[in-house]
Amino acid sequence: MTPSNAAMTDAADPQAVDLAVEGMTCASCVARVERAARKVAGVSGAAVNLASERARISGSGFDTAAVIAAISKAGYAAHEVVDSEAAADAEDARRAADGRRDLRHVILAALLTAPLIGNMALHMAGAPLALPGWAELALATPVQLWLGARFYRAGWAALRAGAGNMDLLVALGTTAAYGLSLVLLVQGWAGGQGAAQGGVPLYFDSAATVITLILFGKWLEARARRQTGAALAALAALRPTTARLRDADGSERDVPIGQVRRGDLVAVRPGERIPVDGVIEAGESSVDLSMLTGESLPVARGPGGQVPGGAINGEGALLLRTEAVGAETMLARIIRLVETAQAEKAPIQRLVDRVAAVFVPVVVAVAAATLVGWLLAGAGAPVAILNAVSVLVIACPCALGLATPTAVMAGTGVAARHGILVKDAEALEAAARVTAVAFDKTGTLTEGKPAVVALAPAGEMDAAALLATMAGVMAGSEHPLARAVCARAESEGIAPLPAEAVKALPGRGVSGVVGRQRIMIGSSRLLEETGAAAGRLGATARELETDGRSVSWVIGTEPAGSAEMGGAAQVLGLVGFGDRVKPGAAGAVAALAAQGRLVALLTGDNAGAAAAVARDLGIDKVFSGRLPADKEEIIGALRRDRHVVAMVGDGVNDAPSLAAADIGMAMATGTDIAMHTAGITLMRGDPALVVAALDVAQATMRKIRQGLFWAFVYNVVGIPLAALGWLSPMVAGAAMAASSVSVVTNALLLRRWRPQVK
């Protein structure tokens, strides 16, 4: 699966592009590619992911061809990623072919190296050497100069660019061991000694073994790295390539998905994968959304219901009216979010980048000091050279470069499979540190599908007229309370009255003109601001609020009044709404509290409704009747109290507080603006996903810290041991190969992660 350029539309910069980069082997390579790209005019940012072999270049007015040329000059092959099925298939085929070639090289290197290792084992056991020197040379040369040529090519490219990398260290170390053996062999021939007949030990086995072990380690590493992208590949596999289009005459024909347009009718048979995002025109079925939202059971859908592309249709035939295709579908948006998260660097990676910038020069200096030190100590040239070789071989910048991106890829991938979409690595890191969680109420902790439970008109207006007036003003709104009013009017056969100049009153309600009168519908705050008297309905409102009901007031101005607020305003009636708490809310709140996190409820609803929900869920900290600006201020106060705050919401009015929090979490069942503002999107409206999101973020950060710890410890301990002569080149090579594989394998354990709260 290749990242799509469509994902770039989410970037903050006006121009961005994804490049595939070949030939990177370690953190030093990552740093060099980034430096080369940033030197191009117009480039403001370059983030390279070693695990996915991708570079995200951002800026304004830069030439992509110039960036590719700069990366090529630095010693790496690069090309722009093309978002198409054919390109993805070609990329997969190339990687599979590279994997098969690398495996063949490993096997051949092992076959050539095995006799050399056996020969050395005999010598160590006290037996005479079985292989003559010329045979050792014949076996080691193809390993060194053919199978190990990749290290020379990459090392030379790095050296030519004025930098170093892992390949340069391997090339220097193995060449030193191979060259020393060649010199001893030639001296033996020239002096008539036994080297040519196998009487004197040579070091061809060390050079060949190091190359073989590192080739094997790189093959294992590449194989494991491919598995980190398994979740993204699984999502990409959900994209159907054809759709069954229904024409105006009722006939059906299969067409490529690219030919389907918005508004087209698409037929879906039982058991088929749904090809487009659409609304059901006819038919009923159950839809399997598990790969998109993590929903464990199929969901029933009928006429008017929305279904996403990529989901699997159940037992019934469906006819869909297409709403989105291609890059605009929910599946495409999910893939873009996951790609973006996996392409971005985590803040913790900055330390690694600083270390990588000086790693190879420092190691070369340590190796040179080791060589000189052993010579000054009176050791022979072979001992001094082999110890220096061990230093060069055991140093491993690969593990440093792989620790963060492999864990991020694995963590965001497994999160996506469970309905948690992480915007970027920075959001992941922030989520792992959360100490306080603030929830919106309606649609977040409650079902968000309130029903009208009380209707109380005032004065001469009756209930039917009040409902018709409210339905007229609220007809165009997507707010849950507005939908409840319209649904009640429809169920009673009451037609909404025509309304004009309808507009939202942020945090308070909605207004519109019905006839000659301006109608305002909203909270008790709106009642206070207009100065209208509640009268006898005040007692009714208090009773409803005590019972945990939400109350909206209907306020009208005198016909002459033109001001939106103030003027001669009077109460026309009130409506009470009831909303059920979501089944998973209590368990989620209890789990967060058990983890020692502060849980708060922030809502624009009245105190009674907020208190009832808080009482049911066990939330102690409640802020009711708050405007969006108030919520933002409360988030700021929590942060000033040294809390790392997560805000969970789903509506337009939640966007400011989502942005103000350290990490915003938006329910995908809510509005697009909330999802755009949030750092994490929860694909199901289930509060338990909040606990799961924080848990997977912590698990991912643990893997990153573990990988970096072992990578640093490995080098800090291994290099001095090699310099002291306590590690042979063969042991050093094995340790170097094992370090990268172990870091990647440890990150892959994240794929076994499962949510703890159901």
Catalytic residue, from 440, 579, 662, 686: name it. Answer: 440
d(CA 515, CA 505): 20
What does the chain come to in residues? 758
CB burial readout 355-384, b (16+ within 10 A) else e: bbeebbeebbebbeebbebbeeeebeebeb
Pick from 486, 469, 466, 467: which is nearest to 477 by CA? 486
Task: Report residue 442: phi and psi, to 5°.
Answer: -70, 120
**564 backbone dihedrals φ, ψ, rounded to 5°:** -70, -40
Which residues, 6+ apart, have CB-to-CB distance to 412 below 8 Å? 231, 338, 341, 342, 422, 428, 700
Q: HEC states along 260-293? A: CCCCCEEEECCCCECCCEEEEEECCEEEECHHHH
Two tokens at 309?
């592309």
The DSSP code sequence of 615-671 is HHHT--EEE-S--HHHHHHHHHHHHHTT--EEEEE-SGGGHHHHHHSSEEEEETTS-
Residue 631: both structure tokens together = 């919520």
Task: Please give the structure tokens belonging to residue 107.
Answer: 């096997």
d(CA 535, CA 554): 13
**Which residues, 6+ apart, have CB-to-CB distance to 280 below 8 Å?**
301, 302, 303, 304, 305, 306, 307, 318, 319, 320, 321
- Could you give the angle at the alpha carbon of 682 between the alpha carbons of 665 and 552, nearest 5°? 70
Are 305 and 295 a contacting pair, CB within 8 Å? no
Classify strands 436-439 and 598-602 as parallel, antiparallel or unpaired: parallel
To the query of whether residue 440 is one of the catalytic residues in this protein, the response is: yes
Structural Rg of the chain based on CA atoms: 33
Residue bearing tokens 């859908």: 301
- CB-count exposure of residue 9 (10 Å: 0-12, 13-18, 19+): exposed
The Cα–Cα gap between 146 and 138 comes to 12
**How many CA atoms lie less than 13 Å away from 124 in the CB half-sphere?**
7
Burial class (CB in 10 A: 0-12, 13-18, 19+), 495: exposed
Q: What secondary structure letter does DSSP report for 446? A: B
CA distance linking residue 268 with residue 274, whole number of Å: 6
Other beta carbons within 10 angstroms of residue 498's beta carbon come to: 11
- Which residues are catalytically annotated? 440
